[in-house]
């Protein structure tokens, strides 16, 4: 615990220094200084929140930003968006990686060209990216897994909805399974790949909810931010009040479904913080770069960069959902 605390203090000091520079050193900035946020499935509310943080930091720093990537789940289109951004030689790139194999060459090329790249939300640890900002997804899965085990009293059949192969969701799944492995009575019956289409979770949930007897599904876990409301609708229509549903993230619909009791709990991330801190850090690196960048700072004990900036997670249920709804309302009215 002590090493985590010390690490957190170091990261907070770095962020505080960057915020101070951003608020007092605007003279070094220009609107011709452009940073990119690259993502996938950008139509989701989650990514609108990440972008809001990115835009807020841009306003603080007086720089220009661009959001790029497909509105649907399309790894090739995300790679192409990154490549197009790279051609413009931006001041820096913040990217969420859905397919490491296709994005790694692009990230490595950017670093070789002296363009700072930080991964956000979903990492590409094998690439030359400088570091990762986002959720400790393994810990997020374990947090949800503990709630699952407590509710099921350590026994029951569980199904998962995910985007298979995406690093952040694979880590969340592992976290859940780590907890379930401590309870022999809990069984992961199936892991369903929604392939970027949350509505497919609705159809699959209908099949799951119809299983009876020893095959009855006792709990549904959504590892992405969009499929929770689809599964909740199935459970409501089926009046399956004896089933448990855990979602991911704090979209307004998810929070309202927790308040109504359709969703038991959700694991909250801090997407606004990811976008905000991500741009602040890119800006600091752009103005104080290492020349040249190295290809693997994670094995350098004297690295000027952290390996991972943890933006935090929490569990939201009926006991604290009103606080999240109030804060969301306050943020939306600004």
Helices 321-332 and 252-260, axial angle in degrees (round to 10) = 150
Beta-sheet strands, E only, within 28-184 = 34-38, 64-68, 92-95, 117-120, 132-134, 155-162
Superfamily of domain 2-135+270-303: Response regulator (3.40.50.2300)
| pLDDT at residue 294, as a whole number | 87
Angle, in degrees to the nearest 10, between helices 227-237 and 252-260: 30
d(CA 166, CA 262): 27
pTM attached to this predicted model: 0.88
For the chain, the farthest-separated pair of C-alpha atoms sits apart, in whole angstroms, at 69
The phi, psi pair for 38, rounded to 5°, reads -110, 130
| Residue 190 to residue 103: CA distance in whole angstroms | 29
* Same fold yes or no, 2-135+270-303 and 137-268: yes
**Quick one: pLDDT at residue 210?**
96
Pairing of strands 265-268, 244-248: parallel
CA distance 95 to 77: 13
CATH no., domain 137-268: 3.40.50.2300
Structure tokens, 303: 């690295």
- Contact between residue 120 and residue 50 where contact means Cβ atoms under 8 Å apart: yes
Residue 51, SS3? Answer: helix
Q: What string of pLDDT tens digits covers the 334 residues of the chain? A: 333 333 444 444 445 444 444 444 456 777 789 999 999 999 999 999 999 999 999 999 999 999 999 999 999 999 999 999 999 999 999 999 999 999 999 999 999 999 999 999 999 999 999 999 999 999 999 999 999 999 999 999 999 999 999 999 999 999 999 999 999 999 999 999 999 899 999 999 999 999 999 999 999 999 999 999 999 999 999 999 999 999 999 999 999 999 999 999 999 999 999 999 999 999 999 999 888 998 888 888 999 999 999 999 999 999 999 999 998 888 775 6
- How many other β-carbons are positioned within 10 Å of the β-carbon of residue 42? 21
Contact 96, 120 (CB under 8 A): yes
- What strands lie across the sheet with 219-222, from one edge to the other? 185-193, 155-162, 219-222, 244-248, 265-268, 314-316
Query: In the numeric block, which tokens belong to residue 244?
Result: 């448990």
In angstroms, rounded to a whole number, what is the distance separating the alpha carbons of residues 239 and 18?
51
CB 213 within 8 A of CB 242: no
DSSP 8-state code for residue 147: H
SS3 181: coil
Domains of the chain, residue spans: 2-135+270-303, 137-268
Query: Residue 329: what pLDDT?
Result: 83
Closest CA to 189 of 177, 201, 202: 177
Based on DSSP, count helices (H) and strands (E) in the chain, helices before strands. 11, 12
């Amino acid at each position: 615990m002590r090493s985590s605390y010390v690490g957190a203090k170091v990261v907070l000091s770095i962020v505080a220094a960057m915020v101070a520079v951003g608020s007092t050193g605007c003279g070094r900035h220009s609107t011709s200084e452009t940073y990119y946020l690259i993502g996938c499935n950008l139509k989701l509310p989650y990514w609108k929140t990440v972008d809001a943080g990115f835009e807020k930091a841009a306003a603080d720093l007086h720089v220009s930003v661009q959001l790029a990537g497909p509105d649907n789940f399309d790894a090739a289109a995300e790679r192409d968006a990154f490549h197009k951004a790279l051609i413009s030689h931006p001041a820096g790139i913040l990217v969420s990686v859905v397919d490491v194999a296709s994005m790694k060459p692009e990230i490595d090329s950017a670093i070789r060209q002296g363009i700072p790249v930080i991964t956000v939300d979903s990492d590409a640890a094998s690439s030359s990216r400088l570091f990762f900002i986002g959720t400790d997804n393994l810990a997020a899965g374990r947090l949800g897994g503990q709630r699952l085990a407590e509710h099921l009293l350590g026994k029951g059949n569980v199904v998962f909805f995910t985007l298979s192969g995406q690093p952040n969701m694979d880590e969340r799944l592992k976290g859940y399974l780590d907890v379930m492995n401590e309870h022999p009575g809990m069984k992961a019956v199936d892991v369903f790949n929604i392939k970027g289409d949350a509505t497919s979770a609705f159809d699959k949930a209908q099949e799951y909810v119809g299983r009876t007897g020893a095959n009855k599904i006792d709990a549904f876990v959504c590892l992405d931010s969009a499929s929770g409301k689809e599964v909740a609708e199935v459970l409501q229509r089926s009046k399956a009040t004896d089933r448990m549903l855990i979602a991911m993230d704090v979209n307004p619909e998810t929070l309202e479904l927790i308040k109504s009791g359709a969703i038991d709990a959700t694991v909250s991330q801090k997407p606004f913080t990811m976008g905000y801190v991500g741009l602040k850090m890119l800006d600091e690196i752009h103005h104080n770069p290492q020349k040249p960048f190295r290809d693997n700072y994670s094995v350098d004990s004297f690295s000027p960069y952290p390996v991972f900036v943890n933006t935090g997670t929490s569990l939201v249920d009926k006991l604290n959902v009103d606080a999240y709804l109030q804060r969301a309302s306050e943020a939306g009215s600004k």
